[in-house]
Structure 1
Amino acid sequence: MEVIKYKSTRGGQKSVSASQAILKGLADDGGLFMPEKFPKFDFKFKELMWKGYKEVAYEVMKLLLCDYTEEELKDCIDKAYDDKFDTKEIAPLVKADGVYFLELFHGDTIAFKDMALSILPHLLTTAAKKNGIKNKIVILTATSGDTGKAAMSGFCDVEGTGIIVFYPKDGVSHVQRLQMVTQKGDNTDVVAIHGNFDDAQSGVKKIFADKDFAKKLDENGIQLSSANSINIGRLVPQIAYYVYAYLKLLDNGDVEDGEKINVCVPTGNFGNILAAYIAKQMGLPVNKLICASNENKVLFDFFENGVYDRNRKFILTSSPSMDILISSNLERLIYLSCGSDGEYVKKLMKELATDGKYTVTPAMKDFMKDFVGGYADEGQNFAGIKSLYDSTGYIIDTHTGVAFSVYQHYKDVTKDMTSTVIASTASPYKFADSVLEAILGKKQKMGDFEVIDKLHEIGAPDIPRAILEIKDAPVRHTRECDSADMQKEVEDILFNNRR
């Protein structure tokens, strides 16, 4: 099997192994790690269509995580995809209103981040052993709502690790906030910042880029890594569920072997849809990648006109995990579109940092023609959720609602009847107040957990364990700071051991 190495999107990092890329999280030059080439699937889809999720995940991940032995990788997969998921399929595929919803929310935190973050701690600790790392590994991450809880759940009390999560104080749902601030674990810390997700993400990147701080950490036996989708160890596991979805379509007789499908993804940081694109490069029969945005439609505008411009009003919506104006993983697609020219990517990222925008060349824009942008405002999102419920009884969350609305518009305009999989990225219970408002036509005057009970009453499936656990859980994390003071908070946590 070909050994795949990783290099930085900004060209200033020598090639490293998969385990080294996962350990570092971010390249030394501030770029993101990318495989030097995409291997092709070495299996036939019909051979795998009766296999379970774990077996499919192994066949996909082994091609990109080449320095993990079969025993190591299978051990990571077994530990990740266990009874923390409330369905044996791990990622069920549900057909409703002629479209296929890939339910990625059956793990501990009832969001798609579980699918990749459940395995990352095991990939990371295995990588540390493989590379002789003695330092404590501290995960530093920003979250728009879901990554934080999923990462903390995965790293909770894992020996030799710690985790610090920053989230926008006023930019997450009540359930998302409770899931984070009630998180157990002696090695977990959560900090609310006064700002939005982009501020949190930029602050984290700034800390990673501080060489003096890295030296100070190393002198104290600590090194940083990331749990965001900027870590290749987050991105690779996401490829597996698109392959799994195709196998289920094949097994159910919904597509013929080799028949192309569309994939529609509610998109914020661009990692989830990029994983689908990589799956296509590796041999998955994919036609269009429909990139669904909410009213913070920076990605829609980019795919329309080739200009990435974050200089706009930031809008808080009912789909907060998509309330993002700097989609970090887009840098990986930019890198591919310019022929892997790290210097050119560095130039564009500098323009983004200084001017808040950059423009790609016509050739780069043409390279991205597999992608179709679309967006749904709050009214369209709520209308989509209601129409799906009224016609089928199936209930989706507000992020999946954006994707469903965008897909309906795409189908109406293009008349493209290709079988389409929508990535259903969160349980409706995670955003129960907004979902209920969409279905019933007005905001309900009731408490958060009354709303959850009402949602169950009108047809949502059993209330997940993740919701029941936070109902009366004590708040353990109360830190907050300005975005400019994030590094001070990290130092206080790591060196003063204060919570």
Structure 2
Amino acid sequence: MMNYKSTRNNDVTVTASVAISRGISEDGGLFVPESMPWLSYTDLKILTDSDYVARANDILSRFLGDFTPGEVLNCVSQAYTREKFETESIAPLYELEPGVYLLELWHGPTCAFKDMALQLLPHLLSVSVEKAEPGKTVVILVATSGDTGKAALEGFRDVPGTRILVFYPEQGVSPLQKLQMATQEGENVYVSAIRGNFDDAQAGVKAVFTDTAVKQKLAEHNMVFSSANSINWGRLVPQIVYYISSYCDLIKNNRISAGEHINIVVPTGNFGNILAAYYAKKMGIPINKLICASNANNVLTEFLQTGVYDRNRPFYTTISPSMDILISSNLERLLYDLSACDDKQVRGYMDSLAKTGRYEVDEAIKKSLQEHFWASYCDDDGTRSTIRETYAKNACVTDPHTAVALNVYRQYREKTGDEAKTIIASTASAYKFAGDVVGAIRSEQTANADQRTLVGELSKLSLSKPPKQISSLFEKPVRFEGVCDKEGMQQTIFTVLGID
């Protein structure tokens, strides 16, 4: 049976249900599988001939060791339906130009790639809690840089036995992302802005998670914490599925032959989305380079190029806010894997990061990083020009995060000459960033324009109808307008839960 270890303590061994229900290990480490399942040529052929639900069921069954086959199938069947996703294929591939494909991950209920995992996580968590913490109310804490918050709120809305609290940086999300969260429906949800950036929100959530006194207070009220951020394995494992599925679709559509190597480009800040692609590679998917695309907050670019992680740098608020991150939590899982599961070494890196804001990995890990990854970044000017050029050349409207990935991919191809077939993760609908996209295409300022008007303008430019999830926002009442200091997050949580 597949069990899980903590990245900071190899003596910790838990089941999948415990890993998912807890979200994070008590030592502050992240849960990782003891081994990585391998997909044979026969497995790949079966997956290629299957639909998305069947692919997800097969892949997840390999990781969820203490789930019954019926439990896994029930979870994925409830998550990936036509009622929740606009397209039957769930995560379709769009050929942008010969050999370059956009993996559209934003056809779910909140128009962002986070739906791919967060429509499934509530079902996984419900099963896990029933196994590991029966009878407890699960309190989901979320720090968001934009998309995770809304996707988690929508996924856990009115799910029995759960409460969900989301914190986002007051000035660090797009107007439509903020409106999505502020108008969220559901009796078990709460949203608050914080005075700070995403790293402040994430640090605050982690501090509350690992505070023994806080956990004891919750236990007294029959409550237990869990997480919907990608620190939770139940949030990360569904992301592996869509990379494997996209490779199968290339085979199915006669774009590649089985075994042919491809590249994958991912715009990322917290490193979860590209880590899922790395795990797909470890499972046997023939991936040559994992291309990590960052915005002006380019801490990951420097790390993957030099082996030095240094968060002591200016923080930039950009037009690709979901990547405005300087502490990439999921990098810890990669370090554990590349260090041959050396928990002591990982603890040392994380202690150094906490105390000094930096660490440097050894030569063996540096070599592995360069073997698997290529990294670069682009600033807001580069993002805008890429949106404009892609619209002019390809008649395709892209959101700012996908544009960052396209820009970095073009840098990669120019510098390496590598023209292998490439999948680019397209992580959000352009409508979520209508102002920035319209402004980029028309080379004009839109900062003070009406959001509803901008959505209409984007509809004209793209010759498409805005998703109903976006167009309906303007009719909904605003429910959440609270703001707290980062030091006040714990008290806010206690007040909302009624356990002062």
What are the within-5 Å matches in structure 2 for residues 363-378 of structure 1?
363-368=364-369, 369-378=371-380
The Cα shift of 1:466 comes to 1.1
Contact 1:41 1:60 in 2 (8 A): no
Return the match for 2:26 from 25, 28, 39.
28
For residue 469 of structure 2, the aligned residue among 466, 470, 476 is 466
Q: Which residue of 2 aligns with 1:484?
A: 487
* Separation (CA, whole Å) in 2 of partners of 1:353 and 1:241: 33
Distance in 2 (CA, whole Å) between partners of 1:223 and 1:486 is: 17
CA apart distance, 1:130: 2.2
Which residue does 2:442 correspond to in 1? 440
Q: 1:195-224: per-residue Cα shift (whole Å, max 9, x none)?
A: 000000000000011001101110111100
Equivalent-residue separation in structure 1 for 2:166 and 2:143 (angstroms): 6
Q: 1:344 matched to which residue of 2?
A: 345
- Provide the aligned length of Structure 1 versus Structure 2: 495
C-alpha change, 1:460 and 1:11, in structure 2 (3 Å) is farther
Shift of 1:84: 1.0
Matched, 1:204 2:202: no
- Partner of residue 293, structure 1: 294
Partners of 2:97 and 2:379 in 1: how far apart? 21
Distance 2:430 2:397 in 1: 7
Taking structure 1 as the reference length, the TM-score comes to: 0.97
8 Å contact from structure 1 (residues 120, 227) kept in 2: yes
Please state how far the C-alpha of 1:468 moved relative to its aligned partner.
Answer: 1.8
Structure 1 counterpart of 2:2: 4
Between the aligned partners of 2:148 and 2:114, the Cα distance in structure 1 is 6
| d(CA) in 2 for partners of 1:462, 1:89 | 20
Checking the alignment, whether the CA contact within 8 Å between 2:149 and 2:181 is kept in structure 1 is yes
C-alpha contact 2:435 2:449 (8 A) present in aligned 1: no
Partners of 1:418 and 1:62 in 2: how far apart? Answer: 31
What are the superposed Cα offsets for residues 355-408 of structure 1, whole Å, 9 maximum, x if unpaired? 000000011111222011110111111111111111121111000000000000
Amino acid in structure 1 at the alignment position of 2:85: F
Counterpart for residue 402 of structure 1: 404
Counterpart in 2 of 1:284? Answer: 285
Deviations 1:70-115 (A, max 9, x none): 1101110011111111111111100113310000000111000000
Aligned equivalents of 1:489, 1:13: Cα separation in 2:
35
Comparing 464-473 and 286-295, the one that deviates more: 464-473
Does the 8 A contact of 1:146 with 1:321 survive in 2?
yes
1:13·1:29 contact (CA, 8 Å) conserved in 2?
A: no
Whether 1:385 and 2:387 are equivalent positions in the alignment is yes
TM-score scaled by structure 2? Answer: 0.97
1:48 maps to: 47
Counterpart residue type for residue 485 of structure 1: G
Residue 253 of structure 1 deviates from its aligned partner by 1.0
Question: Identity over the aligned pairs, expressed in percent?
Answer: 48
For residue 475 of structure 1, give the secondary structure of its aligned residue in structure 2. Answer: coil
Q: Higher mean Cα deviation, 477-486 or 196-205?
A: 477-486
SS at match of 1:44: helix
Residues 229-253 of structure 1 show CA distances to partners (whole Å, capped at 9, x for unaligned) of 0000011000000011111111111
CA separation in 2, counterparts of 1:401 and 1:162? Answer: 35
CA apart distance, 1:460: 4.9
Deviation (angstroms), 1:496:
5.3
SS at match of 1:263: strand
* Closer, same or farther: CA 79–14 of 1 in aligned 2, 3 Å: same
The C-alpha deviation readout for 1:23-59, integer Å capped at 9, x for no partner, is: 0000010000001111112543233223211011111
Partner Cα separation in structure 2 for residue 160 and residue 13 of structure 1: 31
Structure 2 matches for 1:111-260, cutoff 5 A? 111-260=112-261
Match of 1:264 in 2: 265
* Counterpart-to-counterpart distance in 2, 1:250 and 1:261: 11
| In 2, Cα distance between equivalents of 1:341 and 1:460 | 53
Given the alignment of the two structures, is residue 91 of structure 1 paired with residue 91 of structure 2, yes or no? Answer: yes
Structure 1 CA distance, aligned partners of 2:407 and 2:394?
15
* Cα distance in structure 1, aligned partners of 2:261 and 2:499: 55
Q: Which moved more, 1:281-290 or 1:33-42?
A: 33-42
Pairing partner for 1:416 from 392, 415, 418: 418
1:58 aligns with 57
Letter in 2 for 1:129: E
Q: Which amino acid aligns with 1:309?
A: D
AA aligned to 2:264 is V
Moved more, 245-254 or 312-321: 245-254
CA RMSD of aligned residues (A): 1.2
Q: Deviations over 1:144-174 (max 9, x none)?
A: 0011110010111111000000100100001
Distance 1:135 1:391 in 2: 54
Structure 2 CA distance for aligned equivalents of residues 59 and 419 of structure 1:
26
SS at match of 1:235: helix
Paired with 2:21 and 2:134, the residues of 1 have a C-alpha distance of 9
The Cα shift of 1:13 comes to 5.5
Whole-angstrom CA distance in 2 between matches of 1:155 and 1:393? 36
